[in-house]
Amino acid sequence: MNTSKERTRDEILVLENGRILDVENERFIERGVIIVRDKLISDIGSRGEVEIPKNVETIDLKGNVVLPGLIDAHMHLTGMRTGDLVKEPLLTPYEVFVARAIKDLEALLDAGFTTIGDAGSVIALNLKQAVEEGTIIGPRIIASGYPLSQTFGHGDEHYLPVEWVDARTTKKLTPMMSLLCDGVDECRKAARYALRQGADFIKVMATGGVLSQRDRPEYIQFSKEELRAIVEEAEHANRFVHAHAQGSKGIIHAIEAGVKVIAHAIYIDDEGCELAKQRNVVVVPTLSVVEHILRYGEKIGIPPWGIEKSKEVYEEHISNIRRAYRRGVKLATGTDFMGGREAFRHGDNALEIKLLIEKIGMRPIDALKSATLYAAEAVGLSSLTGSLRKDKYADLIVIKGNPLDDPDLLLKRENILMIMKEGRIYKNIIEKH
């Protein structure tokens, strides 16, 4: 990856002659100019509307399309390379997972992702500092760290001795450790522990799931009182709760308790859609992970119970998310990828945009809103990123061709001509085109 030197504070860079996609107003700004000052966009508009400072560095975008940097609002930076959730974590040294996760961060940025929302991996939480201090290169990380799960919950790995599962008691560090908590007091304490570790938001497992051995998506997990206590602790610390919620009742439970982001939403029904809209909840359907389990599951060692349940939920998931889209629920992109050699590989995360268009029938502009505007909302950063606006971060990508005409464009790295995060250029091959 080409990296440019960081400009000193207040140094100005002008990007001119771009076709800037204004996702909020669903239009292109032709012959667009973006003035970047330090980390922020200090002005933006079409040529003539924007005052261009003299004697400053200027880059000609040559009429190429400019998008806000992409966001994956639900993924896991684990360093996993197979789908074998049983053996791989036990047989691999923790440091190997961390080293692979560093490579995955590079791949994510190189694929045009300038922000990621990690919904459960302490590796992401800790590498956030390494990215911010510039030791390694990657997207901005917003992370939950350890997820909260009840005993016999989605985050309680049922095939392991219980004391190996909780991050506070295990002697074998693995990428996906949880905090097991039962009852209001333990839930409060676990939420506070997650915050103590640095969580940007709290992740809870509010229902059973596909990749948990002994439960099912429709099982409700945590009582309303427990969820309410976790939400309260998050809100006291000016944060929000993001729930894994798949069954229709568990989804409603979570939203009623004050959860702001619902992941997966396999069996979301009319009532769940209405509630999500009323409470301004963002739903992250994570279609990519199910798609990959069905395509690669056996080959990469997904346990047979995981493959079976994926087959069972696939069709209904798609039709329920279609209904949510028709009813106007805010949907955000999230792949639920963990990292991998082929399946779940970080860097292929634009697959979710393609699936939203092809499987859900989204208008391409809506799928791009999901990957920018609404995904920014889902990670709690809507005032700072997710659209190209004055005073937001200069997080942007320049694309060869129009992704509204062809969603496959974003899946090929060679079509991403420029990548900028917080005003810093990580790739620029515009001259070669």
Residues ≥6 apart with Cβ < 8 Å to 90: 172, 174
Q: How far is the CB of 76 from Zn ion (least distance, A)?
A: 6
Instruction: Tell the smallest beta-carbon distance from residue 187 to Zn ion (Å).
Output: 20
Q: Please report how close the Cβ of residue 72 comes to Zn ion at its closest, in angstroms.
A: 11
Considering beta carbons, is residue 215 or 336 the nearer one to Zn ion?
336
Which residues in 88-143 belong to E strands, given as ranges? 113-118, 140-143
Which one, 156 or 336, has the nearer CB to Zn ion? 336
| Nearest distance in Å: CB 209, Zn ion | 9
Nearer to Zn ion among residue 75 and residue 360 (C-beta): 75
CB nearer to Zn ion: give 76 or 140. 76
Cβ pair 407, 354 in contact under 8 A: yes
CA angle 88, 90, 94 (to 5 degrees): 90
Question: What residues are paired with 421 via a beta bridge?
Answer: 424
Task: Look up residue 142 and give its two tokens.
Answer: 């917003």
Q: Whose CB is nearest to Zn ion?
A: 336
Options 156, 291, 336, 366; binder of Zn ion; rule CB under 5 A: 336
Q: Which is nearer to Zn ion, 209 or 423 (CB)?
A: 209
| Residue (68 or 120) nearer to Zn ion, CB | 120
Q: How many CB atoms lie within 10 A of CB 195?
A: 18
Whose Cβ is closer to Zn ion: residue 350's or residue 418's? 350
CB of 199 to Zn ion, least distance (A): 15
Nearest to Zn ion of 34, 167 (CB atom): 167
> Tokens representing 98?
């961390």
Q: How far apart are CA 129 and CA 64, in angstroms?
A: 33
Binding to Zn ion, residues 104-143 (CB under 5 A):
119
Q: How far is the CB of 120 from Zn ion (least distance, A)?
A: 6
Structure tokens that stand for 15 in this block: 């990007």
Query: Counting contacts by CB under 5 A, is residue 366 touching Zn ion?
Result: no
Amino acid, res. 225:
E
Nearest CA among 116, 120, 123, 134 for reference residue 395: 116
How far is Cα 200 from Cα 117, in angstroms, rounded to an integer? 9
Q: What proportions of the chain, in percent to the nearest 5, are helix, strand and coil?
A: 35, 25, 40
Query: In the stretch 310-329, what mask flags binding to Zn ion with x, by CB under 5 A?
Result: --------------------
Distance, in Å, from the CA atom of 151 to the CA atom of 213, rounded to the nearest integer, reads 13
Using CB under 5 A as the binding criterion, the count of chain residues that bind Zn ion stands at 2
- C-alpha of 74 from chain center: 3
Judged by CB under 5 A, the chain residues 179 through 218 that form the site for Zn ion are: none
Stretch that binds Zn ion, among 2-10, 180-188, 235-243, 331-339 (CB under 5 A): 331-339
Shortest separation between residue 75's beta carbon and Zn ion, angstroms:
7
CB of 246 vs Zn ion, minimal distance in Å: 11
Residues that bind Zn ion (CB under 5 A): 119, 336
